Structure 1
Amino acid sequence: MRSHWKKQVIVLSSPGRVSSKMQQLILPVLLASFWTICTGSGDWCYQSQFTCDHQCNAPDKWNHAQRDCGGNHQSPINIVTRKTLKDERLTPFEFNNYQQIFRDTIKNNGHSVKVGVPHLSTISGGGLPSTYKAVQFHMHWGNNGGPGSEHTIDGEQYPMELHIVHMKNEYTDLTTALSDPEGVAVLGFFYETSNSANRKYDPITNTLRSIKTTNSNTSLPSISLAQLIPAEQNLTSFYRYNGSLTTPGCNEAVIWTVFENTIPLSVDQLRVFSELQFHDGKPMVGNFRPVQPLNGRQVFRSGGAVILVSSTLLLAAIATALGLSQPN
Structure 2
Amino acid sequence: MTSVLSLSSVLLALKLCSGEWCYKSQFSCNDTCKGPDHWHMIFPKCGGQSQSPINIVTRKVRHDSKLNGFIFEGHEDCVNITVDNHGHSAHFTLPSSVRLRGGGLLTTYKAVQFHLHWGEEKEPGSEHSVDGERYPMELHIVHIKEKYSSLQEAESDTTGVAALAFFFEVTAQPNKHFERVIEALGKVRYHGNTSAILGFRLADILLPASTLSYYRYTGSMTTPGCDQIVVWTVFHQTLPISQKQLALVTGQLLFRTEKPMTGIFRPLQNLNSRIVYTSVKSDSVCVLPGLFTLFLCLFYALRQQRCFG
With the shorter chain as reference, the TM-score category is: 0.7 to 0.9
| Cα distance in 1 for residues equivalent to 2:136 and 2:188 | 21
Match runs of 1:6-25 below 5 Å: none
Q: State how far apart, in whole Å, the 1-side matches of 2:136 and 2:143 are.
A: 23
Larger Rg: 2
- Aligned residue runs from structure 1 range 114-125, under 5 A: 114-125=91-102
DSSP 3-state at the match of 2:46: helix
The equivalent residue for 1:78 is 55
Cα offsets for 1:36-61 (capped at 9, x unmatched)? xxxx8310000111123323210010
CA shift in 2, pair 1:65/1:58, >3 Å:
same
| Counterpart position of 2:228 | 252
- Cα distance, 1:69 vs. partner? 0.6
The AA in structure 2 aligned to 1:43 is E
Structure 2 partner of 1:284: 261
| Aligned partner of 1:241 among 202, 217, 228 | 217
Amino acid in the other structure paired with 2:248: V
Shift of residue 185, structure 1, vs aligned partner:
0.3
Q: Is residue 91 of structure 1 aligned with residue 68 of structure 2?
A: yes
8 Å contact from structure 1 (residues 144, 270) kept in 2: no
Match of 1:112 in 2: 89
Give the match's secondary structure for 2:142.
strand
Tell me the number of residue pairs that the alignment of Structure 1 and Structure 2 aligns. Answer: 277
**TM-score using structure 2 length:** 0.85
Shift of 1:98: 1.3
Structure 2 CA distance for aligned equivalents of residues 200 and 286 of structure 1: 24
Q: Alpha-carbon deviation of 1:295? A: 1.4
Q: What is the CA–CA distance in structure 1 between the aligned matches of 2:121 and 2:284, rounded to whole Å?
A: 34
Give the match for residue 28 of structure 1: none
1:148 aligns with 2:128: no
Q: Is the 8 A contact 1:243 1:255 kept in 2?
A: yes
Could you report, residue by residue, the CA deviation over 1:135-166 in whole angstroms, capped at 9, with x for unpaired residues? 11001001234200000000100001000000
1:136 aligns with 2:117: no
Query: What is the one-letter code of the residue matched to 1:293?
Result: N
Q: How much has 1:280 moved relative to structure 2?
A: 1.2
SS of the residue corresponding to residue 211 of structure 1 reads: coil
Partners of 2:148 and 2:154 within 8 A in 1 = yes
Instruction: Please give the residue correspondences for 1:298-313 in structure 2 after superposition, counting only pairs within 5 Å.
Output: 298-302=275-279, 304=280, 306-307=281-282, 310=284
State the Cα RMSD in Å: 2.2
Given that residues 42 and 65 in structure 1 are in contact (C-alpha distance below 8 angstroms), is that contact kept between their aligned partners in structure 2? no
Is the 8 Å Cα contact of residues 73 and 242 (structure 1) preserved in structure 2?
Answer: yes
Counterpart of 2:20? 43
**Cα 1:253–1:87 shift into 2, 3 Å:** same
| Correspondence for 2:140 among 163, 176, 180 | 163
Q: Is the 8 A contact 1:203 1:221 kept in 2?
A: no
Moved over 3 A (4+): none
TM-score scaled by length of structure 1 = 0.80
Identify the range of structure 1 (48-57 vs 74-83) with the bigger mean alpha-carbon deviation: 48-57
SS at match of 1:221: strand
Aligned residue type for 1:252 = Q
Amino acid at match of 1:256: W
User: Contact 2:70/2:210 (CA < 8 Å) preserved in 1?
Assistant: no
CA shift, 1:203, in A, is 1.1
CA contact (8 A) 2:165 2:235 kept: yes
